[in-house]
Amino acid sequence: MAEPPKVRVKTRLPTRPFPPNVERKPIRTERLIIRPFTEDDLDGIYALRTQPEVMYFTAVGRIDPSKDETRTSYLARYLPPNDIRTYHNVLCLASTGEIIGTGGMPKVDLIFGWPEIAYMLKREYWGQGYATEFLRAFTEHWWTLPRSEVEIEVAADSVNGSEEVPEMLSAMADEENPGSKHVLEKAGFQEFTRWIEPDTREGVIDDITLVGFVLKSPDRKD
């Protein structure tokens, strides 16, 4: 992954470590329950991560090769003791409890320095507004987390050159994923950069164009 030029800024971010899963209350929307991962979610997460159309838009571009791999390489990242490193969630249908996706802040290594949002939904639930419903509720919740003053390195293009900047959330999308870009824009994210790099997906030899987005915190005045 190409590293964008960075600048050091003073800002505010949710206090680290994040609260452990047991202390996080589910977020309820009209149709969704957005909640922390549990060990019992393995089958539901495996069903999601073995859909090729869904996994095509991840960095590896392929389905998880086995349930054991889903458990050790994916689910374990979001269960204790690792839960406090990120703020990721399972998306369930409120009506049935079915796991239909994941969404939140899944990464420890951040490409733009700002916390990075990601989401994925099972193929049969695309195009029904679920990602938009998730993203609006999750970002609203994000701004309510307890905050600390921090000094961090962020993508230079995401800020205006001041030493002290209001905080942001970031996201990254494949230029050829119009659904994802549209969801971000509907939730108020704005494109701030794009670049071309070798595609990391298995079996793909072309370059990929990636688009960086940021969402300004509601406190931001400029």
State the nearest-atom distance from the C-beta of 116 to ligand COA, in Å.
10
CA dist list (Å): 14 to 28, 36, 108, 217? 21, 17, 14, 12
Mask for 41-60, x = binds ligand COA (CB under 6 A): -------------x--x---
Mask for 53-92, x = binds ligand COA (CB under 6 A): -x--x-----------------------------------
Under 8 Å between Cβ of 166 and 220:
yes
Mask for 109-148, x = binds ligand COA (CB under 6 A): ---------xxxx----xxxxxxx----------------
CB atoms within 10 A of CB 67: 16
Interface region with ligand COA, contact rule CB under 6 A, candidates 3-11, 13-21, 146-154, 172-180:
172-180
Q: How many residues line the site for ligand COA (CB under 6 A)?
A: 20
State the nearest-atom distance from the C-beta of 115 to ligand COA, in Å.
15
Can you give the binding site for ligand COA, defined by CB under 6 A?
54, 57, 118-121, 126-132, 173, 177-180, 182-183
